[in-house]
Amino acid sequence: MSKPIGERKSGRFLMQVLWPAFLVAIIAEGLFFSLIDPIELDVVVLNLSSSREAAYTIGFLAFWALFTVSSAITYTLTCGSEPPSDKPQ
């Protein structure tokens, strides 16, 4: 019988890195694009044919990638290559 996803290394990675990064990317995109109209950005006008939706999508993916890297570094520094122990120290 296979282990539950939370006990597998890939499952821990998904839960502890990708999910928090996703949630923070939602907040960051909301804050960023509530202050800045994507059409005012030269990058959007030149490369995305003035499409707000494309700017929102690319902005969200960029924020998610940035926060995933940040969370992955934290995960690596705290967990390393060892599985977490159940014993209190």
Question: Per-10-residue mean pLDDT for the chain, 89 residues long?
Answer: 69 85 94 86 69 84 95 83 60
Q: Please indicate, yes or no, if residue 66 is contained in any of the structural domains.
A: yes
| In-domain check, residue 28 | yes
Q: What is the pTM of this model?
A: 0.72
Residue at 16 is within a domain? no
Is residue 32 a part of any domain in this protein?
Answer: yes
What per-residue confidence (pLDDT) applies to 30?
93
Q: What's the total number of domains in the chain?
A: 1
Q: Are 5 and 13 in contact (CB under 8 A)?
A: no
pLDDT reported for residue 44: 66
Q: List the domain range (segments joined by +) for residue 46.
A: 23-79
User: Does residue 15 lie within any of the structural domains?
Assistant: no
Rounded to 10 degrees, the C-alpha dihedral 18/68/65/60 comes to 60
Structural domain contains residue 5: no
